[in-house]
Amino acid sequence: MSKTKIDNITRSALWKSYNYKCFYCGEDIEWRNLEIDHIIPENLNSSEINNLINEYELDENFSYNDLYNLIPTHNNCNGRKGKYLFDKKTVLYYHGLTKKKLYKIEKEIETLKRKRNNSILYSKIQIALETDSISIDEIRKMIENKKRENWITQGIKLNKKLEFVDEIIDMFYIDSNLTDKILDKNIIFGSEKNIILHNNQDKTRKIHTLREWKNATDEGFFPLTTYDIKASSYVTFIEDLVEVISKAQMPSFSFINNISLKDYDFLSPKIIQTINPDDNFLTKTKRTIGELIKEKKVQIENNNYYDFAIKYRSQITLLKEVFRADFNNDGLEEIFISGYTYVTDGTFGYGFSMILERSSKENLLSPVQK
């Protein structure tokens, strides 16, 4: 039997992670017969353990109570093993098995600790209510404020990194002022340091930063060459991202919390891009993308990066979810997405951003009409 007292949370996590079976004999263990054994016994002195670390090629900071050295056993199996030290080959084999369980054990310990803390919190709330120290309405308000605080300070991982000369941004926070941070940063446009915009008077302007882009487009400048059109989609994504972050609020309700861009039966064909302005089939049809796939009006394309890849005639639409929030102050959750579309028989293509909404269970997930 171990001379070190193993706390019940660790005991329970080990017991469950090994499927309630004894490590040595493989039979089921009841809680009352459960003991936690040390593969390398804890009766060795410091000199012996130092020699063992070298001889058995153990981790430099090895401890008897490392989780991978602890195993659930029957009390009689543990008693038979006693203080016996296995040979090197057996120890390394056993540690190889137990290290594969580490992640599961650690997650189970986290879960049990969280349940314990929740139970403690629940009992404190019960006492507070019974002694009239707090009201249910006050508790609801505290919970709502905490949810809002957690939502505002959450980190959003970008699937499309913002690359600047002096920094790469792959995460942002709802409560941060991203505009001030990136407005005058020099953008990396692939292999180029700038893009060139034109206007109707045959004037040009080099664009290095988001501020220069905003000023130039406000004055009527636009990308003209194929390269500049494609490269400018990166700037418009940054511009749109900055705008939606400034508007983002915590939603109070959602009709899309279990829907992704691969759930075609919930998606409107209006999501799909078309080059021909006279082609209004996708905007007029009442069918879902899922139904159009079954009818072979559109086809699913293979793509490992984008969440959505659909071919319609000679054009492919690619969509990637960026993050979710209430972007139009209606209390409902929407999705901000980045996208790219291109023709399969040419070089034409462009990037874009859009917000998708679903205002009821009866409606499809569709682009927000600007």
The enclosing domain of 18 has a CATH number of: 1.10.30
143 within some domain: no
39 burial (CB, 10 Å; 0-12 / 13-18 / 19+) is buried
Same domain, 214 and 278: no
pLDDT level of residue 261 (50, 70, 90 thresholds)? very high
Q: Please provide the DSSP assignment of 102-160 as one string.
A: HHHHHHHHHHHHHHHHHHHHHHHHHHHHHTTSS-HHHHHHHHHHHHHHHHHTPEEEEEE
**Do β-strands 168-173 and 334-343 pair in parallel, antiparallel, or remain unpaired?**
unpaired
Range of the domain at 214: 155-247
Looking at the domain assignment, is residue 130 inside a domain?
no
274 and 339, same domain (yes or no): yes
In a domain, 129, yes or no: no
Task: Please check whether residue 2 lies inside any domain of the structure.
Answer: no
Same structural domain for residues 91 and 185? Answer: no
Q: Do 25 and 95 have their domain in common?
A: yes
**Average of pLDDT values for 173-191?**
83
pTM of the model: 0.62
**Using one digit for the tens of pLDDT, what is the confidence trace for 134-147?**
888 988 888 888 88
- Residue 28 DSSP one-character state: B
What would the mean pLDDT of 120-143 be, rounded to a whole number?
Answer: 86
Final residue in a domain of this structure, among 247, 278, 301: 247
Q: Are residues 285 and 213 in the same domain?
A: no
Judge whether 149 lies within some domain.
no
Does residue 254 lie within any of the structural domains?
no
Q: Are residues 238 and 173 in the same domain?
A: yes
Asked whether residue 269 falls in the same domain as residue 360, the answer is yes
206-235 residue pLDDT tens: 999 999 999 999 999 999 988 888 888 889
Pair (15, 89) in one structural domain: yes
Domain boundary among 247, 278, 296: 247
Closest CA to 288 of 349, 365, 219: 365
**CB 3 within 8 Å of CB 106:** no
Sequence-ordered list of residues with C-beta below 8 angstroms from that of 176, at least 6 positions apart, any chain: 245
Tokens standing for residue 209 = 């930063």
Do 268 and 358 lie in one domain? The reply is: yes
Cα torsion at 61, 64, 69, 74 (round to 10°)? 180
In a shared domain, residues 241 and 297: no
Instruction: Please say which residue of 83, 104, 125 terminates a domain.
Output: 104
Q: How many CB atoms are located within 10 Å of the residue 362 CB?
A: 7
Q: State the total domains in the chain.
A: 3
Q: Which two tokens stand for residue 271?
A: 């999501």
The pLDDT, as a whole number, for residue 3 is 63
Report the pLDDT value the prediction gives residue 255, as an integer from 0 to 100: 96
120 assigned to some structural domain: no
> Is residue 111 assigned to a domain?
no
Looking at the structure, tell me whether residues 226 and 277 fall in a common domain.
no
3-state helix, strand, coil in the chain (%, to 5): 40, 25, 40
Mean pLDDT along residues 295-301:
94
* 282 and 357 together in one domain: yes
